[in-house]
Structure 1
């Protein structure tokens, strides 16, 4: 009897399952050869067996595939338990193919009886409820039951409650409805005593007003152009800065623009980042008190030039003058990407002068704006005019003075400065991994009125803080402080989070001074700049584990006494709690063995510090690899074994190393929020693995990791000109661009700082804006941008990679409210009281270039309904 033609759908399924089997056999064989799981080889045999039986139109094909479904389920449960997303990656392809095999277009051809079957009475017909089809149906139903169980099982959640008020919050002299510094005060707590918004009413928050700054992307912007500002609220106004360095004053109650100032930034700049995290403020009362303490005169310094006539100040809105910036001559910048051979001292970068084309005034209160071309511009909060009684009459301070390797844009302060007495204390970001001839990471204090240099703390000469002479330069390429400092003026200390010396991943040539202070918190005397103490968070940092976040200062009841503490989050996930008077740990810190194996002549530190409060993730294993399907997960497993990995602090290598956590950081510049009345912390740990590979350099100028020279003056990142190796860095992702490590990748967590206990920890955020299909899967996503807490018991966060601002119950961590944002919210929210008596929540939605969130220019205020 002639064989009947095989139906088209059955032929397609035969080929699909057969090709899957071949792919699994090849990939699985490779994985076994390098020491990985044998599952994929075994699974390939079942795929191939099923394909063969389908080709023969045998109903036993469904039975063989049913065994594969059950076997896959058992293996998946063994590896990850009832954890839905890891289970899905292992079983989704198997389940979908199994379901397709039960369709009539498959079961009918498999049910045809041969002449032999008819003669002996055998019935080989199959349906989803009969024969081998019933076996396959049962296996799929078991898989559905396991999946359903996992949907209601959260293996990553920790439930508990934080304690209530135990201390009266310290009176720091700030009116309760104000926000006078980046972290509200220079204590860096990101906590407001306002209590109108509570867990009971937060769900009623609505948009009160929305303002667009008009700051749009421009040609020549670096990739990491970001709107990270946390505005100030002083009196009845908000003050903020934009990525392109405009300063804007808004009415805090209505959102109406009051004035705008454009500092007229120099032309092409060698920028790695373009951002402004915030402004700083000095009140007239604080300036007067500082003058009395120092015995200094308060007579205004005459400006060198008054610039434009009254009412025509550059960048002022209709309330203050012109809005169009004035043209200035561009100064050529280094465009070659190689080290700049300028180490001779006061090389003038041709900075614009703030008073030259702007309205000026004698300022009582003052705002301080760090600019991308290396200045601090000092403005009048009332009018936006430049202060003629500051900066020696120029209304600005030149940060390039006495700097080595002058290359405008390669150094500037992306973070707000510290104002203490009549001095302004400033650090700055230095280009990472571009060359070994960069600017200095020196920390300096300037007299606000005269602009004179008061002291300089240079980690290359750490005990010599007297101002260096004109014509001399600071130590090139020294560790810098790009993040936000804190200050305790009662103790007379400023707390500086320090980074690493570039190149970040190669440390063979570092000096003893650099080794001592890299990746440390340094307490400097506000008056003299002398180091009082320092605490190193990473020894011989080879991972770009800069201290990234503003220290939070809080008084804690520990051991029967109130301890003035400093809470320091780190990229590697530690929360160091130190006595801020001495730097001694308040919560225990131990040294743990760390992997060796650095490329010679470099070395790796044998131990690294670990705190009693730690969000250090467990080491990755092969079973922690993930993907959208079993195939990209298989490739991630192969990649995992191909990389050098011995746990946290695995050094970079020539073949490539897995760095976990990566330099994105468990914590970054957004820091944490602390409630001083409850002694608790709201944290937002993020977990992403990165890869790091050292690439030998043939000389000091050839590009080895960049395909071409970046446009204009932008630097060639990761080339490390002048070092023996460039560096290839990137997230550890699959062929589909998804993280190779399984979710969750982001959490919110509540910590009792008096005991060190993490009371609760929950997955946070969805994939709605980070996947091709906007599905809001609650997987727990990365966060960049800090939280804020209130006395009302609600915390707020907008930094997740989905575009939402969320409100949480501080006690339990429960998400109580969320609102959709028009762009990524990679900035820390703040809160204040308006002239109408309402408490407002303010969120900036502007996105983040290198994170890939949508760019925007929105400033959004939320409030409870009037009378609510």
Structure 2
């Protein structure tokens, strides 16, 4: 009776809210209405026009320039001949998907989640909405008119910092860079929390699409009485952070189950204040979408100390396993392992063994004694680096000798914990292995496609917090030069010459960001970049001026004049988000990178340890290949094929071929029913491979580099492929990198099709 009453209430609420669009499961591969293609995130399309035999004939059908020089990671979505893209100084633009003609522009949406948006329509098709995160709010735009929907939430806003069990004024980050997922009348969201002590908790939430009302919350850091509470210290939910889905959620519409890949707890590299295995950190978690209740989970890393998040989309596939058809889910981690489970029960298809791993000798740290190792299925990336693997391409003889002499003083190996005595080389590193956008599938055939990168991290010794603060003291005073602030906080990722190493080039930054945008990024962080909210407003202004100057060094007391952003040319129907959603909240006691004080009354260690830096600056020390694309047959657990992805032009000049690309995280794929696998790469090319054997069948040059996911769609009987190409090219190890040169080429959205009429 209670169950019947529950379903009656659900149905009543759906009718009250204008009903919902329950997609036919068979239809999800016939369009690209969602980030990642469809609810299952397979990036698979059942289109038959582009085949192995004619893919070589693909040509540019039309090109839409972004009208600026910003870097966009946006995955376009296409609905009823409308293509929605991000362009023109962070404007949401609706294009005619057949011709590229602008239909409307909603300008001034700075702070929008960069990787994509969500689309929802009512069952009768009268109500069509675009749903997105911006400046830690959830907002909506009418998909036909481009205007904000002010009936959603409170005057068009849902504050994502509310309801997390913390003072919202202490939270700098609550939105994810990835758009979430739609199911019926719900929008499912993860979050971005930052990496520091006392960062936001990564609770999973579902909101009503029409009203903005919070429907349910799942506490990924369990509270008293909840499953997993005993895997943390008492009251850890009051101060622990992370354990968030900042990557890609996959949905099984038939079962009503959502699969969440969860990241590590924070602080990432020292866990004395979070003794235990720390559920649901680093877990694949299956939730009942309508209730938010846990169905099953599997933790891939216990008490993570390496930032081995799960972030790539879980792939929902059907396999022949031991004589039975099994609906499975495949998950690939930043640690390189491939895990495969029964989708309904969470049972592994092949044994996963708990094996002893190196233990920490750092005071206060309690490493977990074992870690889970999948068997049968080969890992997707390299998991160890030896002295013989030092890079012959980009290390000079002197550098190679220096590293060889240094090698014996390093500790290294899979699951080797950071030390307070020695430097630690982690392989894969914190951004190695498999990341967002890097998985796809042919779901009915049980074939998994993966892009991985081989990127080591070098971690300095762990030191007490006061040591870090003393190092930063000079750079955090008004008497410090702008250059000192930059070298202390930014150079490890962006290079001493600002040309970019792990992070992008900062040359000519004033052309890409006004000061308000720059300040927001420093306060909140973005993508892989942590928050630097310990810098005060004067220091942020000084840093911005320093990066904006072509010659000389500005005086630290010089005032920054905010750039006035003009409305873009074209059919602008609105500007800015919903009223009240653009302000930068002044944080109170957030503690910046190092975390706020612990709450009163909790039992925590006397001191915190911290790494000075994030260990991301040495990808060039390992020999190629640096990035690879591969296919797994999960009916058998075999690796079908593997090949390097991309060509580094600096390496090629030195006589090295098939190297793949350094820093090749942000790539995506499209799989077709005609046996093609399309993939982007960091060398500014789009390629098509034979999905069965990995043979390259076609490639095309793009005007700029590309980040994020391509998309494929059919309109008016014609099949199209669209690629976002807005990033500077990046070759070599960074210093000789061509992205350090000013590039006036216009980036934008490149649309390919077979020859013939596009009308």
Q: 105, 111, 129: which one pairs with 1:366?
A: 129
Q: Does 1:662 align with 2:425?
A: no
TM-score by length of 1: 0.63
C-alpha distance in structure 1 between counterparts of 2:223 and 2:349, whole Å? 26
User: Which residue does 1:725 correspond to in 2?
Assistant: 609
Q: Please state how far the C-alpha of 1:176 moved relative to its aligned partner.
A: 5.5
Cα 1:822–1:599, aligned 2, differ >3 Å: closer, same or farther? farther
User: Which residue does 2:636 correspond to in 1?
Assistant: 755
User: Which residue does 1:600 correspond to in 2?
Assistant: 363
Aligned residue runs from structure 1 range 602-617, under 5 A:
602-611=365-374, 612-613=376-377, 614-617=379-382
C-alpha distance in structure 1 between counterparts of 2:465 and 2:178, whole Å? 36
User: Which residue does 2:271 correspond to in 1?
Assistant: 507
Matched-pair contact (CA < 8 Å) for 2:188–2:206: yes
Q: Please state how far the C-alpha of 1:630 moved relative to its aligned partner.
A: 3.8
C-alpha distance in structure 1 between counterparts of 2:641 and 2:117, whole Å? 34
Q: Does 1:794 align with 2:676?
A: yes
C-alpha distance in structure 2 between counterparts of 1:738 and 1:413, whole Å? 26
C-alpha distance in structure 2 between counterparts of 1:720 and 1:257, whole Å? 46
User: Which residue does 1:232 correspond to in 2?
Assistant: 77
Aligned residue runs from structure 1 range 412-427, under 5 A:
412-427=175-190
Q: Does 1:634 align with 2:418?
A: no
Q: 124, 148, 151: which one pairs with 1:386?
A: 148
Cα 1:444–1:848, aligned 2, differ >3 Å: closer, same or farther? farther
C-alpha distance in structure 1 between counterparts of 2:208 and 2:275, whole Å? 31
Secondary structure of the equivalent of 1:430?
Answer: coil
Q: Please state how far the C-alpha of 1:843 moved relative to its aligned partner.
A: 0.6
Q: Please state how far the C-alpha of 1:573 moved relative to its aligned partner.
A: 0.7
Q: Please state how far the C-alpha of 1:700 moved relative to its aligned partner.
A: 9.4
Q: Please state how far the C-alpha of 1:814 moved relative to its aligned partner.
A: 0.7
Aligned residue pairs, count: 591
C-alpha distance in structure 2 between counterparts of 1:763 and 1:701, whole Å? 39
Q: 664, 687, 690: which one pairs with 2:457?
A: 690
1:513-558 superposed Cα distances (whole Å, 9 cap, x missing partner): x712111111122122122211111111100001121111122222
User: Which residue does 1:72 correspond to in 2?
Assistant: none
Matched-pair contact (CA < 8 Å) for 1:242–1:276: no
Cα 1:633–1:487, aligned 2, differ >3 Å: closer, same or farther? same
Q: Does 1:448 align with 2:209?
A: yes
C-alpha distance in structure 2 between counterparts of 1:391 and 1:838, whole Å? 39
Q: Please state how far the C-alpha of 1:195 moved relative to its aligned partner.
A: 2.2
**Unaligned stretches of 5+ residues in structure 2:** 1-22, 227-236, 476-483, 490-517, 523-530, 534-591, 597-606
Q: Please state how far the C-alpha of 1:778 moved relative to its aligned partner.
A: 2.6
Cα 1:698–1:829, aligned 2, differ >3 Å: closer, same or farther? closer
Secondary structure of the equivalent of 2:621?
Answer: coil
Cα 1:497–1:732, aligned 2, differ >3 Å: closer, same or farther? closer
User: Which residue does 1:247 correspond to in 2?
Assistant: 92
Cα 1:524–1:727, aligned 2, differ >3 Å: closer, same or farther? same
C-alpha distance in structure 1 between counterparts of 2:201 and 2:288, whole Å? 20
Cα 1:263–1:455, aligned 2, differ >3 Å: closer, same or farther? farther
Secondary structure of the equivalent of 1:545?
Answer: coil
- The CA RMSD measured in Å over matched residues stands at 3.1
Q: Please state how far the C-alpha of 1:179 moved relative to its aligned partner.
A: 0.4
C-alpha distance in structure 2 between counterparts of 1:765 and 1:240, whole Å? 26
Aligned residue runs from structure 1 range 413-812, under 5 A:
413-433=176-196, 436-461=197-222, 477-510=241-274, 512=276, 515-611=278-374, 612-613=376-377, 614-617=379-382, 619-628=384-393, 629-645=396-412, 647-654=413-420, 655-699=422-466, 702=469, 704=471, 708=485, 712=519, 714=522, 715-716=531-532, 719-721=593-595, 724-729=608-613, 739-768=620-649, 777-782=657-662, 783-784=664-665, 785-798=667-680, 800-812=681-693
C-alpha distance in structure 2 between counterparts of 1:477 and 1:821, whole Å? 40
Q: Please state how far the C-alpha of 1:206 moved relative to its aligned partner.
A: 0.9
Cα 1:408–1:776, aligned 2, differ >3 Å: closer, same or farther? farther
Cα 1:248–1:476, aligned 2, differ >3 Å: closer, same or farther? farther
1:798-818 superposed Cα distances (whole Å, 9 cap, x missing partner): 1x3311111111111011111
Matched-pair contact (CA < 8 Å) for 1:686–1:746: yes
1:741-771 superposed Cα distances (whole Å, 9 cap, x missing partner): 2111121211111111011111221112x56
1:486-524 superposed Cα distances (whole Å, 9 cap, x missing partner): 122322222111111221011111165x71211111112
Q: 279, 283, 300: which one pairs with 2:117?
A: 279
C-alpha distance in structure 2 between counterparts of 1:794 and 1:463, whole Å? 50
Matched-pair contact (CA < 8 Å) for 1:674–1:680: yes
Cα 1:451–1:201, aligned 2, differ >3 Å: closer, same or farther? same
C-alpha distance in structure 2 between counterparts of 1:211 and 1:776, whole Å? 35
1:398-451 superposed Cα distances (whole Å, 9 cap, x missing partner): 212234253575331211122222221211101123xx2222211111122222
Secondary structure of the equivalent of 1:699?
Answer: helix
Q: Please state how far the C-alpha of 1:704 moved relative to its aligned partner.
A: 3.7
C-alpha distance in structure 2 between counterparts of 1:244 and 1:413, whole Å? 20
C-alpha distance in structure 1 between counterparts of 2:270 and 2:619, whole Å? 28
**Unaligned stretches of 5+ residues in structure 1:** 1-169, 218-225, 267-273, 289-362, 466-472
